[in-house]
């Protein structure tokens, strides 16, 4: 009899261990949302570049160069399409300023010793924006250009300030810190231009 109870006891223990093992496997297989977010393979969004990437020299320099090229091409477009003196004056200033910024960036990259191949053509996103601007209705062009300039300068300012604070290359950090105040001035000017169109003031001046 005693032997019978021992056999039953061993069988029950074995079944219990098997059940625990199965439960453990089932629990491990059901990852929680927090675990999924912490696992790159389970989270496709983890492969999307984050703001932290902009503190890396190559990402920073490439994005700034792209922005400078867009500003220059947009300025040329405004010079040929706009009939508003304020817009044409601003565009001329932007073309000169961003050519200078482009040259300064090239010098900073050279001084940094980093191997960075700056783009010579607009990225697809920037080219799409330029194409949209070129297709704008003549009567809406000035306002759309002003809107684009506010967005472009705000993005550039954010990029410069972030890199000046957390960038990984001293020469480029210095360049970013020295360039940011000028971009802030241009942003203020662009916002003033945009406000004029939003309120209709610049349109009225252009018609006088």
Query: pLDDT-derived band of residue 11, with 50, 70 and 90 as boundaries?
Result: very low
Condensed to tens digits (0 to 9), the pLDDT of residues 131-172 reads: 999 999 999 999 999 999 999 999 999 999 999 999 999 999
* Element housing 207 (H / E): helix 201-207
The answer to whether residues 110 and 8 belong to one domain is no
Q: Tell me the helix, strand and coil percentages in the chain, rounded to 5.
A: 85, 0, 15
The answer to whether residues 196 and 103 belong to one domain is yes
Size of the chain in residues:
208
CB 163 within 8 A of CB 183: no
The whole domain housing 17 covers 2-47
pLDDT value for 206 = 44
Query: Which of these, 207, 184, 193, lies nearest to 145 by C-alpha position?
Result: 193
What percentage of the chain carries pLDDT values higher than 70?
71
The answer to whether residues 24 and 69 belong to one domain is no
Q: Kindly compute the dihedral angle of the four CA atoms of residues 138, 148, 91, 84, in this order, to the nearest 10 degrees.
A: 40
The answer to whether residues 170 and 192 belong to one domain is yes
Query: pLDDT-derived band of residue 199, with 50, 70 and 90 as boundaries?
Result: confident
Angle at 111 between CA 107 and CA 114, to 5 degrees: 105
The answer to whether residues 41 and 101 belong to one domain is no
Helices (H), 46-123: 57-81, 85-112
The answer to whether residues 112 and 95 belong to one domain is yes
State the total domains in the chain.
2
CB 116 within 8 A of CB 61: yes
The answer to whether residues 74 and 169 belong to one domain is yes
Q: Kindly compute the dihedral angle of the four CA atoms of residues 156, 159, 163, 168, in this order, to the nearest 10 degrees.
A: -110
Query: pLDDT-derived band of residue 196, with 50, 70 and 90 as boundaries?
Result: confident
* Element housing 193 (H / E): helix 170-199
Condensed to tens digits (0 to 9), the pLDDT of residues 25-50 reads: 444 444 443 333 333 344 434 344 55
Instruction: Please say which residue of 13, 30, 47 terminates a domain.
Output: 47
- Separation CA 207–CA 83 (nearest Å): 10
């Amino acid at each position: 009899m005693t032997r019978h109870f021992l056999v039953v006891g061993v069988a029950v223990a074995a079944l219990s261990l098997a059940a625990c093992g199965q439960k453990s496997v089932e629990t491990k297989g059901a990852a929680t949302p927090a675990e999924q977010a912490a696992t790159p393979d389970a989270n496709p969004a983890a492969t999307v570049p984050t703001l932290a990437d902009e503190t890396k020299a190559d990402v920073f320099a490439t994005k700034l160069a792209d922005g400078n090229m867009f500003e220059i091409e947009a300025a040329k477009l405004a010079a040929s399409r706009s009939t508003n003196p304020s817009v044409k004056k601003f565009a001329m200033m932007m073309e000169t300023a961003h050519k200078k910024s482009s040259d300064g960036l090239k010098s900073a990259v050279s001084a940094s010793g980093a191997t960075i191949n700056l783009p010579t053509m607009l990225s697809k996103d920037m080219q799409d924006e330029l194409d949209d601007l070129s297709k704008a209705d003549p009567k809406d062009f000035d306002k759309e250009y002003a809107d684009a300039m506010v967005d472009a300068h705000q993005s550039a300012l954010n990029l410069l300030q972030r890199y000046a604070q957390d960038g990984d290359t001293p020469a480029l950090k210095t360049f970013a810190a020295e360039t940011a105040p000028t971009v802030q001035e241009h942003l203020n000017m662009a916002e003033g231009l945009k406000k004029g169109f939003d309120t209709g003031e610049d349109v009225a001046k252009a018609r006088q």
